[in-house]
Amino acid sequence: MMLEQKKSLYSTWLVLTLCFVIMLAVINAVLFNVALADISEELSIGPSQVSWIVVGYSMMVAIGSITYGKLADRFRVKSLLIFALVLFLAGSLIGFGFSSFAAVIIGRIIQASGGSAFISLSMISVARFLQPEKRPGALAMFSATIALAAGIGPLVGGAVTHTLGWRYLFLLMVIAIVAIALLIKFMPKEEQQQSPASLPFDFAGAALLFGVIVAVLFAVNLNGLFFLLALAFAFGFKWWLPRTSAPFVERDLFANQAYLRLIGIGFLMNVGAMANMFLAPLYLIHVHKLSPFVVGLLLFLGGISGVLSSFASGKLLPRVGGGKIIFAATVMMMTGFLAMGVIPRPDIIVVTILLLLTMMSYSAIQVSLNNLVPRTLLPSKIGVGLGFYNLLNFVGMAFGPAAASRLFEKTGNYSLIFLGMAVVICLHFLLVAKPAAVQQQSH
């Protein structure tokens, strides 16, 4: 009996440790959003350049999230997580220690090369170390942690930027050393995974897919000619896919129409939502003359509203279905962006209400997709299917700020960009999968 209690206690501490790791990843992803105006002014750089602090991070997370998932089939998860946390710490110290824009970008990219492991490896840890009956509760805690961290991040970022300066945002993340100690203490010993040589890794497929992602982001933020390079990589990936025995992305996924429609919604949702997370702080600082701390407080309220929306959507899912929730939340999000684009210089109270509306909608859509996407996949394809879904989500998170910053640099018009975001979200209506179709796929 004592042994069972001890195992249960260690499982609880493991889940709490993984929640802490996930919170680091999410907070760091949004921490700099409210500091972009200060960084732009201090380093004398434009919106499209400063956006790479967010875009570069999201780009590396997109690439790393699926790569770490693949590496977990070969190496111990504990070793991979500790290695990722060391990279995260190194990036944080580089960003804090050097003052140039190049050093800031390098620090963020190294941070992301570690932080991209945190969510994917935490989910794998749940599957590998917890009893089946405890896994749903752990995953629910992860979802709540993500929503809460998305609200805490801007608040902490605004407070630190206002009191100490934006460079201390890097130093704050040195707290990751606590996560290393907790993992060493509470993550169970694990049998060595298969030898790396025994499992083929599709390096060519990975390089071609990542080439597409990087080239598209360069095309949006630097030069449109990179779209030609992205097309070349895309054709190369398509040509290579049927010619390898162990493709980086399973071929069967591209024939699953319900799955493709849902991950398409996820991509569009993250484009609009992350463009909003990038643009809203700049809008509030430049147009309404708010301090970074007040902006962080407003975004924190948005994050809390997102947590409440997540719980409400979770309760509604069994009764109304994910498809209907996505439809209703899409209408809400589109309404928020349309109002921001149409109303000339709305009052700060109106802006706050619209901001809460869009963030609540984002959380509702996210909860619904997380419920629906696994149901479109066969059990043997869930791991790789969720990996590709997360990769596309992170690509959307990078693409949204990149496109918003480029448009703002060209036009200087906030209203026009908010209207563009409404158009992007409107495309959800073309992709919402019918619940019946999803149910059929799940069988």
Query: In sequence order, what DSSP letters do the residues of 398-413 get, joined into one string?
Result: HHHHHHHHHHHHHH--
Give the distance from CA 417 to its chain's centroid. 21
Residues of the chain whose pLDDT is less than 70?
1-10, 47-48, 135-136, 139-140, 190-201, 221-222, 379-384, 432-443
Contacts of 163 (CB under 8 A, 6+ apart): 293
Contacts 24+ apart (CB under 8 A), 415-420: 415/340, 415/341, 415/342, 415/344, 416/341, 417/275, 417/279, 417/341, 418/279, 418/337, 418/338, 418/340, 418/341, 419/337, 419/338, 419/341, 419/342
Q: Residue 11: its pLDDT value, please?
A: 76
Which amino acid belongs to residue 277? M
Q: How many C-beta atoms surround the C-beta of residue 225 within 10 A?
A: 10
d(CA 173, CA 121) in angstroms, rounded, equals 19
Alpha-helical runs (H) found in 321-433: 322-342, 348-372, 382-411, 414-426
Q: Residue 381: its pLDDT value, please?
A: 67
Q: Residue 136: its pLDDT value, please?
A: 63
Q: Residue 198: its pLDDT value, please?
A: 52
Q: Are the CB atoms for 388 and 66 separated by under 8 Å?
A: yes
Nearest to 303 by CA among 26, 118, 35: 26
Q: Are the CB atoms for 58 and 108 separated by under 8 Å?
A: no
Contacts of 114 (CB under 8 A, 6+ apart): 83, 84, 85, 86, 87, 88, 89, 90, 91
Cα 184 to Cα 73, 125, 190: the distances in Å are 20, 14, 12
Q: Residue 3: its pLDDT value, please?
A: 44
Cα 324 to Cα 114, 129, 305, 334: the distances in Å are 37, 35, 20, 15
Q: Are the CB atoms for 322 and 372 separated by under 8 Å?
A: yes
